[in-house]
Structure 1
Amino acid sequence: MSEVDVAVAGLERLREDLEWRVSEAGGPTVAGVSWAHAIVPEGTVSTPDHVLLFCDGRFVGTATAEPRPYTRVVAASGDTVTVEYRWIVGDEPLAAPAGSGKVRYQVTADGVTPLNPPPWSETELS
């Protein structure tokens, strides 16, 4: 079993019957940083997902403590991975979230450090 498979299997499930699966992955960069995007295949467009981060092939953490919906990795270079987040604003439909922002994460053997604050408000629903 690969380090990615072990890390994905170790994620807390959203529900007991829903398993995480890797939908895409990238890296490693020159600094040895790589990532994997874990989703619930049975989910909907608004089902939360996780971005897992690795340094030199070793799992060092997730981008956020809790999974977030509408997440995608938009760049990875050196020791930094940039993740775009989207969220629902007001009464808009689930398929068209207007909230949008990016967070850069520094990934090292010691763990994951966000280089920007979360773009969503703590009062926004995930």
Structure 2
Amino acid sequence: MRLSRALAAPIMVGLLTAACGWSPPSPAPTSTAACGPGPAAAALSDEISLLPPAPWTEAARGHAADCRLTWVVVSAGSASDSPQQVLFFDGEKGVGSPTPDPRPYITVTAQGDHDAVVQYQWRQGSEPACCPTGIGSARVTLEDGRLTILDPIPGP
């Protein structure tokens, strides 16, 4: 009897997590002290001008350990399922985005000296906007000043 009670709480937590979708843990904040703040407003504006017209605003930014690969996630709204796009930079030079079209629920984390992982989430069926359960990621890196996508882009 004690064993079943001991298992009840972890099972309930697992069921609740599965019922409302999984949300990734927030990445550890990256310090800009050594790398600086990332691309300047003009460089960011140049890259945003290549996106479909929308009221794009910065949602997050970060960098890889060597400070060369930096990124800015921009969003076209404040709702959790608003379209987003991640823009990568080599210093101040825009090097593109791994996805041609904006998508909601984008998270980027550093991995290695000049690599990052872009995590995508998406709603499946009639899931509420708060709780997408579709999830996948793709690694990106800088090679000769170009953004190289190392994995297939996941998605619905």
**Could you say which TM-score interval applies, normalised by the shorter chain?**
0.7 to 0.9
Q: 1:81 to 1:66 in 2, by over 3 A?
A: same
Alignment of 1:113 with 2:138, yes or no, is no
Pick from 19, 22, 25 the counterpart of residue 55 of structure 2.
19
Letter in structure 2 aligned against 1:90: G
Match of 2:137 in 1: 102
SS in 1 for 2:152: coil
Distance 2:92 2:69 in 1: 8
C-alpha RMSD of the superposition:
1.9
How many Å apart are 1:85 and its aligned residue? 0.6
Aligned residue among 79, 83, 89 for 1:54: 89
**Which amino acid letter does the alignment assign opposite residue 83 of structure 2?**
P
Match of 2:98 in 1: 63
Aligned to 1:78: 113
Native 8 Å contact 2:99 2:153 kept in 1: no
Equivalent pair of 1:84/1:102 in contact (CA under 8 Å):
yes
In 2, Cα distance between the equivalents of 1:39 and 1:86? 15
Partner in structure 2 of residue 91 of structure 1:
126
Q: In proportion to residue count, which structure has more strand? A: 1
Per the alignment, residue 48 of structure 2 pairs with: 8
Deviations 1:11-61 (A, max 9, x none): 222xxxx31111221126416111001112x34211210000001220010
Q: Which letter maps to 1:72?
A: T
Aligned residues: 116
Alignment-derived partner of residue 72 in structure 2:
36
Distance 1:32 1:110 in 2: 9
Secondary structure, in 3 states, of the residue corresponding to 1:7?
A: helix
Q: Is the 8 A contact 2:64 2:114 kept in 1?
A: no
TM-score computed with the length of structure 1 as normaliser: 0.79
Alignment partners' CA distance in 1, 2:131 and 2:58? 23
**CA distance in 2 between partners of 1:11 and 1:109 (Å):** 24
Structure 1 Cα separation of the partners of residues 148 and 128 of structure 2: 32
The gaps in structure 2 that reach 5 residues or longer are: 1-40
The TM-score, its normalising length taken from structure 2, stands at 0.66
Report the Cα distance in structure 1 between the residues aligned to 2:103 and 2:66, rounded to whole angstroms: 28
Residues 88, 94 of structure 1: 8 Å contact kept: yes
